[in-house]
């Protein structure tokens, strides 16, 4: 029996998982997190004070304090049954990394003790030479190290009855180049903080800190683990490279917000409970548009914490899934013909005085502050659309962007009818009529009508990659498997730069004797005129928009290898260096790593396609063909006329035609790969993989394989079919 049928049988005879989840969340919430409240209990006054200042200001801790904190951390975690610790970090491979060490060690005289000191807390040297580094460590220094990031709290990961203390860290080379997602993100957030506070101080001198906030919405598929294991493509690529569409896909739209299947519901409750222990504030769960697709979202948090929580959750979801004999797929396009998955990044900024800078204010003055941040966001996206596009580029996301289900690769901004009108008014009014007597701001009573209007779902545009949704922007083009740090690093850097320039312009007008409010409005007016071509209220999926965007000169780069070019332009170097986020060497290294990732992903998929074609598809098709031939021969032998086996002959012939196509295309695919592999330059190689391997052969090969799936006897087919993957619960 093929793996396909044993998996189906196993699914049919499975017993329900007896999971009794928590009945209340609050007692659970954050129980495995070394919060400041816990720290208060376990640390001396001195250590506690240092830690909390370090968290609030990003100031480095000194070694003696680190020792005290390490002792407190060990005491806390041992009380909870922890035996090992690890530096937890987010390497550029896109998942999380950890290397466990025990507290247990031997003294020089052989006595066994449990130990964890400041040195072990602060720094660790993973033997990480195999993490991608884009040549950085080779060029600069042999190894990298992980360094404790106190801004993100330590936590305990519970898995298979083992408990590990995880110390969030950044991963850097000895010469200081960042090798992970987190280090540049922290720098970008600091740059934003500085620029944003300066601008806030025009309106409120009490503001001393601005934090960017992020609320992500994670989409994912869940399928039966046994069935997933019977699909080598899912195992190795996270997506199906072949598979004929089932009769029922998502056309009935009966899955969206439908009731959650029991088995999945149990799984959700289980991973949610684990998430709560880690302080991840999950709030919503629901079905998504495609069958087998779901979404979860937390309450928003400061960006760096939200990023940690998202990567942690993805890790948890994978582990918990296997407790339920399920497999979770984060790939952007696991199945052809039905929707893929994204990860909307809801983004805003908030002040230490508790103001959401993208929420329209209640008075004209706070409205002007809102308008300032709103318009600056639009200008940032307008000026650096190419960088945002690069930040979300990946082999997986290429399947989504540009297909008619996700925002296009053209970055535009949706603001809604009402704000579009407000922008228009500011633009025209300030230009000709505005003077000191005519306090235009006072007449822009946006504070009265915006809240109801924008929070109303009807004024939403689901096709825009960057949409204003009442009190935040929603960056929708991020891929479901991505680490949001990438998008967030870029978004916050371009915002930091834009605000910095805004401040310069306003200041120079003020120096020339202009009144502050007028200087601000005039600059905003200029920005609106400058960036309004990025605003688009219509259907982002439509052909008309593609034409219109071209006319407007908006960039539209549909594939990753070329989208990544934006990372290493002079413009990119300048902005990332100016804001202390990436050095030139780091940018080039990252560019290289992203290209390499793209190449490898396409390479693996191409290999898997070749393997499946030759070892699964062709053999079963030939076998079935032989059965038909036997049948035909038998019918001939008993003397039946040709019309009695005409159908069999026709199927034999059709199978033959597709078989040849499958073989020829698989063969040509291998040859194309060989040619691409010889290319030295990474970018050229990535483009070759994209255009000469993927674009040329993937679809055509798939077409013929899927035709065979329709022709060949169901019992012979070894790969679980779409209807099983999507509907077997
Ligand atoms: P939807 O977009 O599905 O209609 P909501 O508008 O309620 O849902 O919110 C979506 C996400 O936006 C949630 O994760 C929420 O936490 C987040 N969010 C709300 N306010 C902010 C904010 N100020 N900054 C960042 N994220 C936010
Ligand atoms: Mg949303």
Q: How far apart are CA 521 and CA 432, in angstroms?
A: 12
With 90 as the cut, is the pLDDT of residue 117 above it? no
Listed by start position, the domains of the chain span 31-180, 190-575, 595-727
pLDDT tier, 143 (very low <50, low <70, confident <90, very high otherwise): low
**CA distances to 15, 159, 313, 321, 691 from 316, in Å:** 23, 9, 5, 8, 36
Q: Is 356 in the pocket of ligand 1 (CB under 6 A)?
A: yes
Q: Is 50 in the pocket of ligand 1 (CB under 6 A)?
A: no
Q: Is 342 in the pocket of ligand 1 (CB under 6 A)?
A: no
Q: Is 300 in the pocket of ligand 1 (CB under 6 A)?
A: yes
With 60 as the cut, is the pLDDT of residue 436 above it? no
343: CA distance to ligand 2 center in Å?
9
pLDDT tens digits, 262-274: 899 999 999 999 9
Q: Is 297 in the pocket of ligand 1 (CB under 6 A)?
A: yes
pLDDT tens digits, 362-417: 766 678 899 999 999 999 999 999 999 999 999 999 999 867 677 788 999 999 88
Index of the ligand 1 atom closest to the CA of residue 300: 16
Question: What is the chain's mean pLDDT, rounded?
Answer: 90
**CA distances to 182, 286, 298, 620 from 281, in Å:** 20, 16, 5, 49
Index of the ligand 1 atom closest to the CA of residue 216: 14
Q: Is 346 in the pocket of ligand 1 (CB under 6 A)?
A: yes
Ligand sitting nearest the alpha carbon of 347: 1
Index of the ligand 1 atom closest to the CA of residue 298: 14
Q: How far apart are CA 301 and CA 280, in angstroms?
A: 9
Q: Is 299 in the pocket of ligand 1 (CB under 6 A)?
A: yes
344: CA distance to ligand 2 center in Å?
6
Residue 277 contacts by C-beta under 8 Å, 6 or more apart in sequence?
28, 29, 30, 31, 32, 33, 158
Index of the ligand 1 atom closest to the CA of residue 470: 6
pLDDT tens digits, 343-354: 999 999 999 999
* Dihedral of alpha carbons 364, 368, 371, 373, sign: negative
Within 10 angstroms of residue 302's Cβ, the number of other Cβ atoms is 15
Q: What confidence score (pLDDT) does residue 130 get? A: 60
Domain 31-180 fold is Ubiquitin-like (UB roll) (3.10.20)
Please compute the mean of the pLDDT values over residues 7-35 and round it to a whole number: 92
Residue whose CA is closest, atom 4 of ligand 1?
457
462: CA distance to ligand 2 center in Å?
8
Q: Is 310 in the pocket of ligand 1 (CB under 6 A)?
A: no
With 90 as the cut, is the pLDDT of residue 427 above it? no
Q: How far apart are CA 185 and CA 191, in angstroms?
A: 10
pLDDT tier, 729 (very low <50, low <70, confident <90, very high otherwise): confident
**CA distances to 169, 196, 354, 441 from 519, in Å:** 43, 17, 26, 12
Q: What's phi and psi for 250, nearest 5 deg?
A: -110, 10
Which helix or strand (DSSP H or E) is residue 314 part of? helix 303-323
Q: Is 218 in the pocket of ligand 1 (CB under 6 A)?
A: no
Q: Is 471 in the pocket of ligand 1 (CB under 6 A)?
A: yes
Best residue among 472, 478, 491, 495 to mutate for probing ligand 1, ranked by most atoms within 8 Å of CB: 472
Please compute the mean of the pLDDT values over residues 696-709 and round it to a whole number: 97
Which top CATH class is 595-727?
mainly alpha
Q: Is 476 in the pocket of ligand 1 (CB under 6 A)?
A: no
621: CA distance to ligand 2 center in Å?
44
Q: Which of 455-464, 470-479, 490-499, 672-681 has the lowest mean pLDDT?
A: 455-464
Q: What confidence score (pLDDT) does residue 142 get? A: 43
Best residue among 297, 342, 456 to mutate for probing ligand 1, ranked by most atoms within 8 Å of CB: 297
Asked if the domains at 31-180 and 190-575 fall in one CATH topology, the answer is no
296: CA distance to ligand 1 center in Å?
12
394: CA distance to ligand 2 center in Å?
21
Q: Which of 290-294, 341-345, 402-406, 543-547 has the lowest mean pLDDT?
A: 402-406
Task: List the structure tokens of 441.
Answer: 């701001």
Please compute the mean of the pLDDT values over residues 689-704 and round it to a whole number: 97
355: CA distance to ligand 2 center in Å?
22
Q: Provide the CATH number for the domain formed by 190-575 in this structure.
A: 3.30.590.10
Q: What confidence score (pLDDT) does residue 353 get? A: 96
Q: Is 280 helix (H, G, I), strand (E, B) or coil?
A: coil
Index of the ligand 1 atom closest to the CA of residue 457: 4
For residue 310, with 0-12 CB atoms within 10 Å meaning exposed, 13-18 middle and 19 or more buried, which class applies?
buried
Q: What confidence score (pLDDT) does residue 256 get? A: 65
346: CA distance to ligand 2 center in Å?
7
With 50 as the cut, is the pLDDT of residue 449 above it? no
pLDDT tier, 442 (very low <50, low <70, confident <90, very high otherwise): very low
342: CA distance to ligand 2 center in Å?
10
pLDDT tens digits, 176-203: 889 899 999 999 999 999 999 999 999 9
pLDDT tier, 138 (very low <50, low <70, confident <90, very high otherwise): low
Best residue among 192, 196, 215, 344 to mutate for probing ligand 1, ranked by most atoms within 8 Å of CB: 215
């Amino acid at each position: 029996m093929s793996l396909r049928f044993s998996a189906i049988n196993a699914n049919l005879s499975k017993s329900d998982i007896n999971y009794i989840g928590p009945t209340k969340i609050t007692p659970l919430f954050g129980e495995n997190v070394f919060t400041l409240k816990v720290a208060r209990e376990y640390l001396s006054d001195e250590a506690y004070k240092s830690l909390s200042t370090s968290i609030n200001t990003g100031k480095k801790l000194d070694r003696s304090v680190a020792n005290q904190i390490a002792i407190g951390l060990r005491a806390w975690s041992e009380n909870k049954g922890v035996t090992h610790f690890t530096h937890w970090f987010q390497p550029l491979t896109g998942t999380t990394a950890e290397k466990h060490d025990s507290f247990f060690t031997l003294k020089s005289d052989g006595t066994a003790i449990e130990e964890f000191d400041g040195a072990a807390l602060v720094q660790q040297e993973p033997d990480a030479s195999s993490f991608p580094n884009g040549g950085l460590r080779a060029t600069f220094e042999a190894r990298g190290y992980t360094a404790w990031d106190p801004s993100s709290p330590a936590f305990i990961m519970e898995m298979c009855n083992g408990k590990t203390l995880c110390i969030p860290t950044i991963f850097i080379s000895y010469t200081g180049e960042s090798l992970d997602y987190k280090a540049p993100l922290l720098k970008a957030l600091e740059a934003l903080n500085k620029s944003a506070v300066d601008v806030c101080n025009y309106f409120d001198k009490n503001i001393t800190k601005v934090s960017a906030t992020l609320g992500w919405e994670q989409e994912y598929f869940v399928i039966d683990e046994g069935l997933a294991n019977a699909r080598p493509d899912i195992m190795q690529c996270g997506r199906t490279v072949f598979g004929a569409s089932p009769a029922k896909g998502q056309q009935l739209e009966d899955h969206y917000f439908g009731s959650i299947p029991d088995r999945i519901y149990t799984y959700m409750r289980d991973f949610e409970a684990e998430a709560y222990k880690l302080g991840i504030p999950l709030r919503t769960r629901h079905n998504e548009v495609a069958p087998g697709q779901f979404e979860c979202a937390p309450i928003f948090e400061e960006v760096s914490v939200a990023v940690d929580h998202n990567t942690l959750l993805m890790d948890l979801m994978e582990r918990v899934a296997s407790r339920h004999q399920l497999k979770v797929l984060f790939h952007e396009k696991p199945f052809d013909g039905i929707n893929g998955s994204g990860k909307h990044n809801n983004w805003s900024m908030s002040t230490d005085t508790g103001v959401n800078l993208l929420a329209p204010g209640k008075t004209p003055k706070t409205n002007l502050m809102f308008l300032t941040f709103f318009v600056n966001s639009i200008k940032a996206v307008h000026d650096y659309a190419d960088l945002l596009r690069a930040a979300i580029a990946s082999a997986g996301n290429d399947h989504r962007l540009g297909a008619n289900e996700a925002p296009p690769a053209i970055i535009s901004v949706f603001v809604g009818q009402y704000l579009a009108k407000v922008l228009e008014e500011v633009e025209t009014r300030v230009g000709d009529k505005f003077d000191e007597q005519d306090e235009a701001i006072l007449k822009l009573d946006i504070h009265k009508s915006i809240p109801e209007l924008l929070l109303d779902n009807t004024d939403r545009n689901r096709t825009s990659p960057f949409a204003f949704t009442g009190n935040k922007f929603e960056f929708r083009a991020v891929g479901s498997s991505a680490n949001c740090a990438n998008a967030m690093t870029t978004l916050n850097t371009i915002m930091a730069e834009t605000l910095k320039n805004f401040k310069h312009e306003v200041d120079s007008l003020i120096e020339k004797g202009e009144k502050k409010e007028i200087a601000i409005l005039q600059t905003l007016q200029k920005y609106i005129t400058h960036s309004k071509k990025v605003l688009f209220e219509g259907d982002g999926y439509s052909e008309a928009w593609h034409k219109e965007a071209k006319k407007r000169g908006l960039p539209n780069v549909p594939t990753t290898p070329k989208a990544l070019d934006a990372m290493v332009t002079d413009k990119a170097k300048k902005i990332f260096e100016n804001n202390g986020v990436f050095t030139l060497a780091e940018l080039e290294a990252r560019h290289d790593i992203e290209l390499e990732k793209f190449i490898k992903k396409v390479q693996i998929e191409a290999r898997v396609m070749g393997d499946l074609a030759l070892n699964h598809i062709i053999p079963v098709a030939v076998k079935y063909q032989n059965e038909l031939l036997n049948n035909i021969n038998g019918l001939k032998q008993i003397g039946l006329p040709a019309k009695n086996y005409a159908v069999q002959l026709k199927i034999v012939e059709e199978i033959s035609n597709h078989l040849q196509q499958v073989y020829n295309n698989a063969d040509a695919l291998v040859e194309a790969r060989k040619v691409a592999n010889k290319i030295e330059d990474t970018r050229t190689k990535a483009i070759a993989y994209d255009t000469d391997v993927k674009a040329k052969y993937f679809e055509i090969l798939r077409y013929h394989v899927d035709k065979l799936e329709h022709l060949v006897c169901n019992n012979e087919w070894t790969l679980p079919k779409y209807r099983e993957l999507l509907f077997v619960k």
